[in-house]
C-alpha cells in the first residue's frame, strides 16, 4: 500500500493499521532526511499550507512548521490571539478567507471538539488535526507509537500505561486508538476523578495505584496535568497529585526492571515526573520531539500526494 | 490490453553481462585508480544491485577493497510528484561517508529520459559538494532523452522505441543475470 485510506487526518479513529504502517515507513525515510547535512527535500514546492492555531501551542506548532519547511512547502501562520476571530468571525469564514489565497492544506488546532471534522466538510482543502479540544491529537499519538517502535522494536504485545489526566487529554484518547490498532496492551492510571467512566469500553484497563501500574508496564506515557482545561478542581492539590501519582527515581528503581518513560511535553517538573526521571537514559522524551518532525513530514507528504495538481 | 501480445526478447545474456561488467570495472579503475578519493553511489531501486556487483568485481578480480558505496533514493526529488497515476514509494538512502570534495560515480541500470539522474544530481547536494560527478549505466537507451544528460561509462547502447521497456534481472534478486526488451 502506498496511499492513505483517508483524505484528511482528523483522528486516529478514522485510520487503520495499514495507514499507520505507511506513515511509519515514510517517516523512516524522512528521519534519514532530517539527519543529513542539508535537511530539506523539494517535494512540496508547489503546495501552500496554512497553520491555524486557535489555541496556544509551542512545540506542536514549531514541529509542524519545521516539517512543512523541510518539505519545501510555502506556509502561512495564523494564531487566534492576533486575528479577526476576536472580532466575531466564524470558523468557516476564517478558513474560506485563507483558502481564497490558494491554500492546499490546513493544519488546525482548535479548543472545540470536532472542529476539524466540521471544517473538513465545509472547505476544499486537506485538513490535519493538530489537536481539537479534549478529543484527538493524532500526530502526537503517531509519534508516540513511532518512538516506542524505535526503542523497543515493535508496539505489538507491549504493555503501555498512560498516566495522568485522562479525562481532559486528547493525547490519551489518540494514543489509546493508535496502540489498540497496533496490538498493544493499554492501561490508564490516575486519580479517579480524571479517569472517564466506561473507559474500559475502549478496550483499556484501569489501575489506580501508580506502583502496580509501573510494575505491570513496559512503557509509561506520562501526561501533563492540564490545569487550564479544568473548570473545577479534580484533585485537592498539585502536591498531593505529585505524591500519589508523580514518578520519581526511587519509585523507578524499586521496580526491578527498566521501563521506558515518555512525556508529550511540556513537562511540569516535580509534578508528574521529577527532573532526574525526565533526564534519565530510559526517558525518550527528546526522541519523541525529533520523531515528531519526521512523523509530521510523513503525514503531510502522504496527504499532499492526493492533492490534484492544477492544470 | 485485449488484442495485444506481450513479447519478451533477450538483449543480453548472463555471459555478455559478465564481460560488460568486467569492462566497466576496468574503465572505472582507469579513471579512479585505487578509489581513494572516489565514492560510488547506486541509484535506488535498480542501480544498487549493479553497484554492488561492480564493487565485488573490483574486490575479487582487481584486489581493490574498501571502495565506498552508498545508496541514494531520489523519490522526494522527482519532478513528477502528484503528476503520476500511482503514488511514488520511497526506498532507503544510505550514505555513511562524506562526499565533500570527493569524485562521485552515479550507478544506474538503465538510462532512459535522464530525469532520474537529474533528480539524483539535486539529491546528492544534500550530502555536500563533490568535486565531480560521473554516470555509469548498464543500458543506455539512445534517442529517449528528455534532458541533456549522457553517461560517462555505458555497458550497451540500444535503440528501442518508447513503447518498449528494458528490464535488467540480477542473479541475486531474480535468479539469473539477463537484460530483456519487453514490448507490450
Interface pTM (ipTM) of the complex?
A: 0.83
A30 closest CA partner among A288, A287, A291: A291
The H-or-E segment that residue A111 falls in is: none
Co-location of A266 and A131 in the same domain: no
In a domain, A47, yes or no: yes
In a domain, A2, yes or no: no
- For A223, residues 6+ apart whose C-beta sits below 8 A from its C-beta are A162, A163, A164, A165, A166, A169, A171, A172, A263, A264, A272
Q: How far apart are CA B32 and CA A26, in angstroms?
A: 36
Co-location of A189 and A264 in the same domain: yes
**B46: how many CB neighbours lie within 10 A of its CB?**
18
Length of chain B equals 184
A5: chain B residues, CB-CB within 8 Å = none
Please give the angle made by the CA atoms of A231, A234 and A235, to the nearest 5 degrees.
140
Q: Is B88 on the interface with A (CB under 8 A)?
A: yes
Residue A263 DSSP symbol: -
Provide the pairing of β-strand B178-183 with B164-169. antiparallel
B182 closest CA partner among B1, B3, B10: B10
Residue contact A29–B128, C-beta within 8 A: no
B115: chain A residues, CB-CB within 8 Å = none
**pTM for the full model?**
0.91
Mutate to test the interface with A, among B41, B73, B83, B90 (most CBs of A within 10 A): B90
B83: chain A residues, CB-CB within 8 Å = 309
C-alpha cell at A57: 501551542
In a domain, A6, yes or no: no
**CATH number of the domain located at residue range(s) B7-183 in this protein:** 3.40.50.2020
Residue whose C-alpha cell reads 568535486 in the numeric block: B131
Interface of A with B (CB under 8 A): 2-3, 26, 28-29, 32-33, 36-44, 46, 301, 304-305, 307-309
pLDDT in tens, chain A (311 residues): 689 999 999 999 999 999 999 999 999 999 999 999 999 999 999 999 999 999 888 889 999 999 999 999 999 998 877 666 667 788 888 888 888 888 999 999 999 999 999 999 988 899 999 999 999 999 999 999 999 999 999 999 999 999 999 998 999 999 999 999 999 999 999 999 999 999 999 999 999 999 999 999 999 999 988 776 666 678 888 888 999 999 999 999 999 899 999 999 889 899 999 999 999 999 999 999 999 999 999 999 999 999 887 54
- For B8, residues 6+ apart whose C-beta sits below 8 A from its C-beta are B180, B181, B182, B183
Residue A261 DSSP symbol: E
Domain hosting residue A58, numbered range: 12-137+290-304
Co-location of A175 and A193 in the same domain: yes
CA dihedral angle for residue B115, residue B117, residue B118, residue B122, rounded to 10 degrees: 140
Q: How close is the nearest chain B Cα to the Cα of A66, in Å?
A: 17
Total tally of structural domains belonging to chain A: 2
Q: How far apart are CA A96 and CA A90, in angstroms?
A: 10
In a domain, A3, yes or no: no
3-state secondary structure of A185: strand
Amino acid at each position: 500500500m502506498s496511499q492513505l485510506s483517508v483524505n484528511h487526518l482528523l483522528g486516529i479513529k478514522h485510520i487503520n493499521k495499514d495507514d499507520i504502517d505507511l506513515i511509519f515507513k515514510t517517516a523512516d525515510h524522512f528521519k534519514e532526511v532530517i539527519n543529513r547535512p542539508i535537511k530539506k527535500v523539494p517535494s512540496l514546492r508547489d503546495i501552500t499550507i496554512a497553520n491555524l492555531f486557535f489555541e496556544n501551542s509551542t512545540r506542536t506548532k514549531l514541529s509542524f512548521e519545521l516539517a512543512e519547511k523541510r518539505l519545501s512547502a510555502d506556509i502561512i501562520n495564523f494564531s487566534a490571539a492576533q486575528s479577526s476571530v476576536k472580532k466575531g468571525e466564524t470558523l468557516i469564514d476564517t478558513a474560506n478567507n485563507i483558502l481564497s489565497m490558494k491554500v492546499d492544506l490546513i493544519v488546525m488546532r482548535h479548543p472545540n471538539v470536532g472542529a476539524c471534522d466540521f471544517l473538513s466538510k465545509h472547505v476544499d482543502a486537506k485538513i490535519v488535526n493538530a489537536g481539537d479540544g479534549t478529543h484527538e491529537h493524532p500526530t502526537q499519538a503517531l509519534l508516540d507509537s513511532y518512538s516506542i517502535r524505535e526503542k523497543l522494536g515493535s508496539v505489538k504485545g507491549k504493555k503501555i500505561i498512560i498516566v495522568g489526566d485522562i479525562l481532559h487529554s486528547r493525547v490519551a484518547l489518540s494514543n489509546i486508538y493508535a496502540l489498540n490498532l497496533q496490538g498493544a496492551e493499554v492501561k490508564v492510571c490516575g486519580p479517579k476523578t480524571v479517569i472517564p467512566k466506561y473507559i474500559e469500553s475502549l478496550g483499556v484497563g484501569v489501575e489506580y495505584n501508580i506502583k502496580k501500574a509501573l510494575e505491570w508496564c513496559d512503557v509509561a506515557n506520562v501526561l501533563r496535568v492540564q490545569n487550564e482545561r479544568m473548570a473545577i478542581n479534580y484533585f485537592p492539590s498539585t502536591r498531593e497529585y505529585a505524591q500519589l501519582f508523580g514518578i520519581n527515581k526511587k519509585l523507578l528503581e524499586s521496580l526491578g526492571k527498566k521501563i521506558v518513560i515518555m512525556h508529550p511535553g511540556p513537562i511540569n517538573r516535580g509534578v508528574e515526573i521529577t527532573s532526574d526521571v525526565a533526564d534519565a537514559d530510559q526517558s525518550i522524551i527528546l526522541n519523541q520531539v525529533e520523531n515528531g518532525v519526521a512523523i509530521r513530514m510523513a503525514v503531510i507528504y502522504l496527504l499532499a500526494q492526493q492533492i490534484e495538481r492544477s492544470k | 490490453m485485449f488484442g495485444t501480445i506481450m513479447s519478451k526478447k533477450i538483449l543480453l545474456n548472463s555471459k555478455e553481462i559478465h564481460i560488460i561488467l568486467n569492462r566497466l570495472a576496468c574503465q572505472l579503475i582507469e579513471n579512479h585508480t585505487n578509489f581513494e578519493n572516489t565514492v560510488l553511489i547506486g541509484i535506488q531501486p535498480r542501480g544498487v544491485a549493479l553497484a554492488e556487483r561492480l564493487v565485488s568485481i573490483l574486490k575479487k578480480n582487481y584486489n581493490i577493497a574498501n571502495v565506498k558505496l552508498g545508496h541514494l533514493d531520489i523519490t522526494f526529488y522527482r519532478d513528477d510528484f502528484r503528476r503520476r497515476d500511482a503514488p511514488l514509494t520511497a526506498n532507503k538512502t544510505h550514505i555513511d561517508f562524506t562526499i565533500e570534495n570527493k569524485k562521485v560515480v552515479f550507478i544506474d541500470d538503465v538510462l532512459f529520459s535522464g530525469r532520474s539522474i537529474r533528480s539524483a544530481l539535486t539529491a546528492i547536494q544534500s550530502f555536500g559538494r563533490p568535486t565531480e560527478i560521473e554516470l555509469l549505466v548498464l543500458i543506455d537507451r539512445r534517442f529517449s532523452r528528455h534532458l541533456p544528460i549522457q553517461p560517462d561509462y555505458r555497458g550497451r547502447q540500444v535503440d528501442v522505441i518508447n513503447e518498449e521497456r528494458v528490464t535488467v534481472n540480477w542473479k541475486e534478486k531474480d535468479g539469473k543475470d539477463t537484460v530483456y526488451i519487453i514490448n507490450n
